[in-house]
Amino acid sequence: MVRFLKVFSREIANAVLLVIGVTGLLYLVFNILPGTFFGKGGGIEGYIGLLRRLFTFRFGISPVTGKDIGALVFPAFRNTLILTAGSIFISTLIAVPIGIFSAYRRFRSYSWALNIFSYIISSIPVFFLGYLVLFIVSRYTGFLPILSLAEPGRGRPLLSYILPIVVLGLGNDSISEIVRLIGGELERVMSEDYVVASKARGENVLKASVHEGILIPLISIVFSKIPFIIGGAVIVEHVFNWPGMGRLAFQATLDRDLPVLIIIAFLSVLFIRAAALLKDMVLFYYRTGER
C-alpha cells in the first residue's frame, strides 16, 4: 500500500507540474503574439488568477463567443472521449487476436500475412484513410458521412459515428505495436517453466499465460498510446466534422480565444495523466495481487 501511495502521489505531482508547464507556455506564447486580445498583458497576476479558475473549475465566459466556457468545452471533451475510447476498442479488437495467433504459430503460415496486414494498415496516414473512406462511402452509397448537429435525424447518423471511430482505430498506428508486443510477450511467457508444466498437465496454455502474456503488455501499450491517439483524433475530427476538442481548439486558436484554449489544454492534461494513473493502478494490482 505504501508503494501504491507513492505512485499515486507521484502522478498527482506530475499532473500539477504538467498543467502549470503547458498552460504557462500557452499563456506566454499568446502574450508575445502581436495584436490586442483578451488575456494579453495580464502578467504573472493574470496567470495566477487563471490557474485559480482552472483548479476550481470556474471557467467563466468566453470573451469571443460570449458563451459559458464549460458549456463549450465539456460536450466537445465528451465527443473526443467517445472517439478515443472507440478507436482503442477497434485497435484492440483487431490486434489482440493477430498477436495471439502469431505467438501460437511462431510467425508461420497465415500469421505472416496477418502481421504484414497490421503493419500496412498502421502505416497509412489517418487523414488519407479518412478521406479515402469518405470517398468510397459517398461514391457508392450516395451518403456523405459527416456529422451534422444542425440537422439531426437526417441521412445515416449511425455511419457518421461509426466511420470516424473505425478510421481512427485503424489509422492510429497502434495495431502493429500491439501485435508486436503481445506476440513477443506471449511467446516468451509460453516458454516459461510454469506454462510448460501447465501444458504438460493438460491445462489451457492461453489461460495460464493470459495475465503476464496478454493483459499486462496490452494495458501498458494502450494507455501509453492515448496521447498519440488524441493527436490523431484532432485530424479525424476535421475530416469528419466531428464536434470534438480538436476542432474547438483549432477554432479557439484562430479566434485567439486564450481562456478556451488553455482550458482545453488543462482538460487534455488531466485526461492523459488520469489514464497514466489508471494504468499504474491496474499494473500494480496485477503484479502484486493486492486488492
Q: How many Å apart are CA 283 and CA 222, to the nearest integer?
A: 12
Would the pLDDT of 117 be above 70?
yes
Give residue 290's pLDDT: 45
pLDDT, tens digit, for every residue of 52-71?
A: 888 888 888 888 888 888 88
Cβ-based neighbours of 227, under 8 Å, separated by 6 or more: 272
Would the pLDDT of 147 be above 80?
no
pLDDT, tens digit, for every residue of 13-26?
A: 888 888 888 888 88
Instruction: Write down the mean pLDDT value for the chain.
Output: 80
Q: Which of 170, 169, 187 is CA-nearest to residue 99?
A: 187
Q: How many Å apart are CA 246 and CA 76, to the nearest integer?
A: 8
Give residue 291's pLDDT: 44
Q: Which residue has the higher pLDDT, 18 or 4?
A: 18
Give residue 153's pLDDT: 42
In the structure, what pLDDT confidence band is assigned to residue 287 with cuts at 50, 70 and 90? low
pLDDT, tens digit, for every residue of 84-98?
A: 999 999 999 998 888
Please give the average per-residue pLDDT across 262-268, as a whole number.
89
Give me the amino acid identity at 257.
D
What residue segments make up the domains of the chain, in order of their start?
Answer: 2-288
pLDDT, tens digit, for every residue of 236-258?
A: 888 888 888 888 888 888 888 88
pLDDT, tens digit, for every residue of 160-170?
A: 788 899 999 88
Read off the C-alpha cell for 68.
459559458
Please give the average per-residue pLDDT across 38-55, as a whole number.
80
Q: Which of 267, 254, 275 is CA-nearest to residue 80?
A: 267
Would the pLDDT of 267 be above 80?
yes
Q: Which of 93, 115, 116, 118 is CA-nearest to residue 104?
A: 115
Q: Which residue has the higher pLDDT, 141 or 267?
A: 267
Q: How many Å apart are CA 230 and CA 183, to the nearest integer?
A: 25
Give residue 101's pLDDT: 81
pLDDT, tens digit, for every residue of 202-229?
A: 666 666 666 666 777 888 888 888 888 8
On whether the pTM is more than 0.85, the answer is: no
CATH code for 2-288? 1.10.3720.10
Please give the average per-residue pLDDT across 137-155, as a whole number.
66
pLDDT, tens digit, for every residue of 180-203?
A: 888 888 777 777 776 677 667 766
Would the pLDDT of 105 be above 70?
no
Give residue 89's pLDDT: 92
Coil, strand or helix at 68: strand
Please give the average per-residue pLDDT across 37-44, as a whole number.
73
